[in-house]
Structure 1
C-alpha cells in the first residue's frame, strides 16, 4: 500500500523528479512488471466480485490495463475503480494503473458517440473539428479514469491493398501531420495533467509492407523513412508534445522494429527528439520469437526489445516481467536500461495526474454522455462526403421514384469500421460464442468475461438502439415519396437469382437508381473487404457488385453510385460511367444521413479525397507526391509516353479532388519571387464562388523543389484551408510559407534546407491546371535539427 509521505508523493517536485524517487524504491521485479499489462478480468468478474486468483496480481504489479469495453459507462467506471483500488491498496508501493483505450473513431467503449473513420475525417480537411472531437474524447476518457489512448494512426495510406488504410489520414504526409497534430492536441490538452496520453502509431513504415500484406517487411531507405514516413510523427512530437509512440510490427532493414535500436532510439529519440515512452503494439515481443524468428526465447526477445528502446510490453508479459527480471539479474540487461524504461512510464503517470486522481467519477450520467458529440459527429460525416461526378442528376427530386440497390442499401452495421466500438463489440461477441479472430494480441479469455457485460444482442441491434443509426435505404425513404430498397447482391457474395432480378427490375421501373456499393471493415466473422489482417491482392469492387452495377446500368435508368469505403477501389466501367458518383467513408451513426443530405441538396458537398484512386491495381503504388521520374511524375518530351501500354499512368481520381453543386475559381493576387532558407514568403490568392449556391471548398497549396543530387517529389502539399463561400462571394487566402518547411535529406546525408529553385501553385485538387510561380530559395545551406523545423504554413482567410 502506498506511503503518502514518500518522496515520490511530493507534488512540489516535477514529474521526472518524482519518477526518479519512485524508481529508487522499486525492486528489479517491480520495475520489470511496471512495463507490462494485465486484463481487468484477472482482478474482478463482470459483476464486480473479486476474480478467483486476484491475490496473485499483488505479486505481479503491472503498470497498465488493456483496452476493454462494456456497453454501460457506469459499469466501465465501476470496473476501473475496483481494479485501480486493488493496485493502490494491495501492491507494495501502490502505484496506480494506466488504463488504455482506442480512440480513432471515438472512445472505444459503450454509451459514447462514434465518429467517422480517419480517412473520412481526412476528407473533411478540417483539423479544427478533429481537435474538437478529440477534446471531447479526452473529457470522456478522463471521466471514466482511462488515461492512455492508443491513437492516432500516423501511417501513410499509400497502398490500398493494405487493409488498414481506413485507419490513416490518407496518402499525404502534410495532411496526415495536420490532422495528427490536431488529434494529439485535443487528447493531451495544453496541460497533460488535464489531458490523456496520446499514442501515435505505428513507427515506422508499417503501412508500406511488401505486397500490401499486413505485418510484412518494410523496405525503405533512411531518406524515405526520415523525409516521408517520419514527417507526421515528427510534427506531432514538436507541435503537439506527443507523449507516446507505438512501434510497428514490421521489420525495417531486416530487423524487427521492436528490436531495432536504429528505429526506436537513433531515429525516434536522437534524431526526431522524442522524449516520451514507447508503447508496444499488442503481441510485439512474442512475434519476435514466433513470427519473425529473430530470437529463440522470451528472455532474448525481451532483452533485444528493451535494449532497442521499447519501454513496454502489451497485452501480457512474455519477454518483460519475470523474463526481463531474470535477464537483469543474470547480467544480460543493464539495470540502468530497466530503470530508464520504468522512469519513462512513471514520469508519464505523474504528468497525467494519475497519482493524485486515480479514480473515475463516482456517478456517471449515462443519458448525458449519449448526447455528447452528436452534432459534431453529424457535421464531420457531412463534410466527409466526396462528390466525384455529377452530370446534373443531383440533387435528387423528392418527388422522383427512387430504387436504392446494393449491399449497402439495407446494411446498418457496415457504417462502422474496425477500431470503432460497434466493430470491437461484434468481435468480442463472436469470440464469446467460441469464434476466433485475426486481430493480433486479443486474449481469447476476454470472451468469457464479456458474456456478462454486453446488454443487448448483435451489432445491428446495438447501433440501432444505442446510436440510432439508419441504413441508406431508410434515410432516403424518409425524403422521397416512392422508394424501393433491394440488395441485389451481398458485399462479396451473390444472393439468389430472384434477389438479383428484383433489384434490376426495381431500377428499371424507377426514375433514378441509387446504387449503394463499396466495402466493409471488420476484424472477422463477416463479409469484409478491409480491416486489420484483411488485405487484398485485387482491389476491384467485388465481382457480385460489378455484375449488379452492369445490370443496373443496362436498364437505362440514371444511376447515382454511392461508394462506402475506407480506401480506394478499382472501379468498373459501369461505375465510372454513372451519372453521379459519391464516395463516403465509414461514417458512423450519421453516415447514411449525411449521404442522403448531399443527395437531396440539403448539404452542398465539400469533401476532398485523401487518397488517389487508381485506374487498375497494376498502377499501385500511385500517389500524388511520387518522386520526379517515377510513376506519372515523368517530365518527358511530348512524343515520349510515360503511360502503360494499357492505361494512363495518372490516377483515375486525384488526391484532393471533390466537386460541389456550385463552382469555384482561384485567382492569384501575389506571389513571392524569393524565399530565404530561414525566412517567410507570402502567396495570396482570391477564392471565389462563381455559382448560385452557397458552398465550401479547400484551397490547396502545392510546391515542387529542385535539389542537387536528390530526386524530390514531383509535388508536395505545403498548405491548405477550407473556405466557406456564399454564392458570388470572394475571399482572400494568404499562405505564409516558411523556408524551414523545405527541409530534406541531402545527397551527403545532411538534413537541411538548401538554396535553389521552387515552383508554387494553388489548386482545388492535386492535378488541376493552375498558374505556377517560380521562387528562388536564397541563402546558404541551413542544417536543421528536428526541433528547428517548421511543419506547416500559416494560412489566413479574409
Structure 2
C-alpha cells in the first residue's frame, strides 16, 4: 500500500529547497516548471466523471446518474479502474511528448458526490443519486477504482463539491446554502465523510456557494473543523474554478483579491483553480498570511505528486501502453454499463419486440440520431458513436424496414430556419402511419441541462425551470399519439422529467439517460429482448415541479423519497424487468458491525438480472426520516421459474438517527426492514405488483 509518511517526508525535503516565490507558484492549477529542481510543469485540472474527459479520445461510459441506476458497487470500481488505466496511458504519452497541458494530468476532479436534491439542477446528471447511502457507496467504489491499490496512486480522485451544493447554477457565485444541523449531517455530509474515511480520497474540491455564511473554499467549519479536524483528511484541497475570486466579487466576505487568497489558504485550500493565488505574495507582504501558510499548502500538493509516483521513473504505471485507450475490454465494459443503466418505466406487454412480427419500424425524435444525447456533460471523445437509430438499424439489419424522422428540433419551434413552426410534424406522422411500431426518442442534452452559461437553455443558467420537455417535443409527442400507432418512448435526459403524457398515452416508457458513446446499441438490444432491463431509478420522477419546495430551499422537508409526502410518477428505486421477481421471505442475523439478510427470491417470468433493495424504518424515534431509507442492495441473476436465495449486507449504522444538533446515535428499539425489488411505498408496490418482505427488528 501507499506510504503517505514517506511521501510527506519527500515533499517536505523538496519544498524546503524552493524559494517562497516558487512555492506560491505551485499552488495555481497550472503550476509552472521549476527546472533547477527537476520539477516539470503540472496542470491540476483534469476531469473524469465517466471517462477521461476533454483530453481527446477515451472510452466514454454512461453519465454518472445513469451508472447509478445499476446499483452496482463492483462495476463502478471496474469502471474507475478502466478510466484510471486510460488516464495513465494518455499521461505517459503526453509526458513523452512534452505535453503538460490542461486535462493531461493525473489529478482528476471526480467524482461529483453532491446530492441530487432537486431535479431542476442542471449538474445533477454528474451525480449519483438523491440518496446519501447510494451516493456514498457508489462514490467510494469509483474512488477506489480510480486510485487503485498499488504502491502509488493510479490517479488521484477528488470528491466534489464540498459541501451543501446543488444549485441554482445562476446563483452559485453568491448563494448562501442555509441548512439545519440535522440536514447537514443526515443528508449533505455522509457521502463526503465516507469518501474521506473509507475511500481515502486524495483530494476534496470546495463549492462556489457559501454554506451557513462561510464560502466553501474558505470555511472554518467545513474545512478545518469537519474535514481536517473531525475526519482527519490529509490530502489536498482545491477550489472550484474562480471560486476564490467570488469571495470579494460576489459573496463580499472579503474586500480584495489578496484578502480572498489569504482567507482561502489559511483555511486550508491548497490549489486555486483560478488566478486569485497570484495575489498570495501580496497577501504575504501585507501580513495577511505567513510563509508557513504557503509552505504547508505546497507540501500537501507535492505529497500528492509523490504519491502518484511522478518522480519515480520506475513507477509501474509508467508501463501502461497507449493501446489500452478504447481497448476492446473497456468498450465492452461501457456497453455492459449502458445495458445495466437503462430503466424500463412502463411496459404494457409490447416489450420485448418480436422482430418476426414487424415489417416496418418508425424511429422518430430529435434525440434518435443525435450524438449529443449519448454523452452528457464533462465528456471525452469517442472514436465511434452508436445512436438509438443506428442501434436499431444495426440490430434489425434487412429483417425489417426502418423509417426515420427527426420530428422536431430539440428546443426550437422549427428545424429549418426558413420553415414554418412544427416543420417536421407532418413527416413524423407519416413515418408513424407507415410503421407497425414507433420508437419515439425525446429528451435533452448538455446544452439544455448542465453547468451555467449554456445559452440555449432557459436563462443560460444550466438549470431547468420545470420538469417539462421543450414545447416542440411535447407537440411532437401529441402528434405521434394521434396516429394511434403503438409507441415506445425513449427519454434521454440526465434528470427526472414530467413524463405523465407518455405514461398515459404510450405502450412503453424507457429512461435511457445519457448512456455513453455506444449507448444506442444497448437501448436497441433492450427493445428486442436480447437482455432484460434491470436498472432502477436513483432519483424520484415527480409529477411536476409544482410539487416541490422552492429551488433555493435547502431544507430536506418534502424532498426526495425519504421525506416526500405526495404522489409521484415513478418512485426512487423503481424499474421493471422482463421477469416477474418477488421476495416472499427474508431473515436477518447479526455479524459483527453489520446485519446479513438472507432473502428468498422467486422469478415466475423470463430470466433476468434484478436488484434487491433493503430499506429501514425507525418506528419510534422522533428524529427518524419521514418515510424510510435505503440501507442495502445487491444484484442477483435469476432464471425463468427459478427460486434462489441471496445475501444482502446492512451496516448497523443504518439504525442510527441524526438529531437536531447533528449528533448521530441509535434512538429506538423497534425497526422494520423491507427487502424486495423496490421501496415499500404504495406506488412502487402497485406498479410492480409485489410488496417487499418485512423483518421486524427489536433491539
Question: Which category describes the TM-score, using the shorter chain as reference length?
Answer: 0.7 to 0.9
Is residue 67 of structure 2 the alignment partner of residue 121 of structure 1? yes
Q: 1:270 to 1:707 in 2, by over 3 A?
A: farther
1:519 to 421, 444, 448: 444
Post-superposition CA distance 1:246-301 (Å, at most 9, x none): 00111111221112111111121212332211111111112222232322211010
Task: Report the CA distance between 1:764 and its aligned residue.
Answer: 1.1
1:42-191 equivalences in 2 (<5 Å): 62=31, 87=33, 90-92=35-37, 94=39, 97=42, 99-108=44-53, 109-145=55-91, 146-191=105-150
Task: Report the CA distance between 1:601 and its aligned residue.
Answer: 0.7
How many residues are matched?
657
Partner of 1:42: none
1:219-230 equivalences in 2 (<5 Å): 219-230=178-189
Is residue 513 of structure 2 the alignment partner of residue 585 of structure 1? yes
Query: Are the equivalent residues in 2 in contact too, given 1:689–1:730 (CA < 8 A)?
Result: yes
Query: Are the equivalent residues in 2 in contact too, given 1:709–1:747 (CA < 8 A)?
Result: no
Task: Report the CA distance between 1:362 and its aligned residue.
Answer: 9.3
Partner of 2:567: 650
CA distance in 2, matches of 1:407, 1:754: 52
Task: Report the CA distance between 1:225 and its aligned residue.
Answer: 1.5
Q: 1:631 to 1:385 in 2, by over 3 A?
A: closer
Task: Report the CA distance between 1:305 and its aligned residue.
Answer: 0.9
1:297-312 equivalences in 2 (<5 Å): 297-312=256-271
Post-superposition CA distance 1:693-715 (Å, at most 9, x none): 21011000000125645243421
CA distance in 2, matches of 1:185, 1:367: 19
Partner of 1:764: 677
Task: Report the CA distance between 1:400 and its aligned residue.
Answer: 3.4
Q: 1:12 to 1:697 in 2, by over 3 A?
A: closer
Task: Report the CA distance between 1:21 and its aligned residue.
Answer: 2.1
Structure 2 gaps, min length 5: 92-104, 415-419, 686-690
Q: 1:210 to 1:529 in 2, by over 3 A?
A: closer
Query: Are the equivalent residues in 2 in contact too, given 1:98–1:349 (CA < 8 A)?
Result: no
CA distance in 2, matches of 1:524, 1:680: 42
1:665-684 equivalences in 2 (<5 Å): 665-671=582-588, 679-684=593-598
**What is the Cα-based RMSD across aligned positions, in Å?**
3.1
Post-superposition CA distance 1:758-788 (Å, at most 9, x none): 22111212233334333123xxxxxxxxxxx
CA distance in 2, matches of 1:16, 1:544: 58
CA distance in 2, matches of 1:195, 1:534: 33
CA distance in 1, matches of 2:343, 2:465: 26
Query: Are the equivalent residues in 2 in contact too, given 1:416–1:587 (CA < 8 A)?
Result: yes
Query: Are the equivalent residues in 1 in contact too, given 2:412–2:472 (CA < 8 A)?
Result: yes
Query: Are the equivalent residues in 2 in contact too, given 1:415–1:588 (CA < 8 A)?
Result: yes
CA distance in 2, matches of 1:704, 1:531: 41
- For residue 291 of structure 1, give the secondary structure of its aligned residue in structure 2: helix
Partner of 1:335: 291
Is residue 337 of structure 2 the alignment partner of residue 380 of structure 1? yes
Larger RCO: 1 or 2 (CA < 8 Å, sep 6+): 2
Query: Are the equivalent residues in 2 in contact too, given 1:112–1:370 (CA < 8 A)?
Result: no
Is residue 221 of structure 2 the alignment partner of residue 262 of structure 1? yes
Task: Report the CA distance between 1:504 and its aligned residue.
Answer: 1.1
- For residue 80 of structure 2, give the secondary structure of its aligned residue in structure 1: helix
Is residue 546 of structure 2 the alignment partner of residue 546 of structure 1? no
CA distance in 1, matches of 2:521, 2:423: 29
Is residue 21 of structure 2 the alignment partner of residue 29 of structure 1? yes
Q: 1:712 to 1:365 in 2, by over 3 A?
A: closer
Task: Report the CA distance between 1:345 and its aligned residue.
Answer: 1.0
Task: Report the CA distance between 1:633 and its aligned residue.
Answer: 8.1
Post-superposition CA distance 1:122-142 (Å, at most 9, x none): 011122111111111212222
Query: Are the equivalent residues in 2 in contact too, given 1:193–1:353 (CA < 8 A)?
Result: yes
Partner of 1:563: 491
Is residue 604 of structure 2 the alignment partner of residue 690 of structure 1? yes
Q: 1:749 to 1:550 in 2, by over 3 A?
A: closer
Q: 1:633 to 1:136 in 2, by over 3 A?
A: closer
CA distance in 2, matches of 1:549, 1:261: 51
2:615 to 681, 688, 702: 702
Report which stretch shifted further, 725-734 or 176-185.
725-734
Partner of 2:688: none
Structure 1 gaps, min length 5: 1-10, 39-61, 64-86, 423-462, 636-641, 644-648, 778-798
Query: Are the equivalent residues in 2 in contact too, given 1:209–1:219 (CA < 8 A)?
Result: no
Report the TM-score when normalising by structure 2. 0.87
Task: Report the CA distance between 1:327 and its aligned residue.
Answer: 1.8
Q: 1:99 to 1:526 in 2, by over 3 A?
A: closer
- For residue 700 of structure 1, give the secondary structure of its aligned residue in structure 2: strand
Report which stretch shifted further, 538-547 or 747-756.
747-756
Post-superposition CA distance 1:662-696 (Å, at most 9, x none): 11010223246xx79x85433321112211x2101
1:677-756 equivalences in 2 (<5 Å): 679-691=593-605, 693-706=606-619, 708-747=621-660, 749-756=662-669
Q: 1:627 to 1:712 in 2, by over 3 A?
A: farther
CA distance in 1, matches of 2:336, 2:39: 44
1:397 to 340, 354, 362: 354
Report the TM-score when normalising by structure 1. 0.77
Task: Report the CA distance between 1:730 and its aligned residue.
Answer: 2.0
1:278 to 229, 233, 237: 237
